[in-house]
Amino acid sequence: MTKELSNYLTKIDEVLKRLEIKIERYEMLNPKISAVNVGWHIEHSLMVFDEYIDFLTNSNPKNYKGKFNFIKLIVLATKFIPRKYGKSPKNMLPKDVIQIDKNRLITHLAETKQKIKKLETLPKDKYVDHPVFGQLTLMQTIDYTVTHTKHHLKIINDIESK
């Protein structure tokens, strides 16, 4: 494992620990901040990790065509996603908020942690097709998922504090 990958995996571990702490308040809702509760933001963040790991695993490096994308450059460079800017694909959205409970989130977090171990052995030339950014390399995908999770953690913090 490269030092770069090791650093990214440490960052993933850090954001997952922060999500885990938030599970206790999964029912908290503040409509002034978000139309959905804390549990939804946790579930969505875990779903993004899961889906992207699946996409990376199944990608064919021969199909990668690295193209310049200004929005991707800005988000990856600034590590910032503006609120209400993007819209997630339906497969990345929790289907039923009612089914999100503490046990479900704890189980999903454990499953995601197991799945993340796959990143240690994936070839560096794997990639993801992102709906806004185009193709993301393995390292860009990991970087983006950390940034994306931090974005949702900020929303969760605002839900909790207001």
Looking from the CA of 41 toward its CB, the CA atoms found within 13 Å total 32
Separation between Cα atoms, residue 15 and residue 73, nearest integer Å: 22
- In 3D space, the residue among 113, 145, 140 whose CA is nearest the CA of residue 125 turns out to be 140
Show the domains of the chain with their CATH numbers: 3-161 (1.20.120.450)
Q: Is the whole-model pTM more than 0.85?
A: yes
Helices vs strands, H then E, count in the chain: 5, 2
- Sequence-distant (6+) residues with CB within 8 A of 85 are none
- Band the pLDDT of 90: cuts 50, 70, 90: confident
Residue-wise pLDDT for 23-81, tens only, equals 999 999 999 999 999 999 999 999 999 999 999 999 999 999 989 999 999 999 999 99
- In 3D space, the residue among 54, 65, 78 whose CA is nearest the CA of residue 141 turns out to be 54
Instruction: Give the mean pLDDT of the chain.
Output: 93
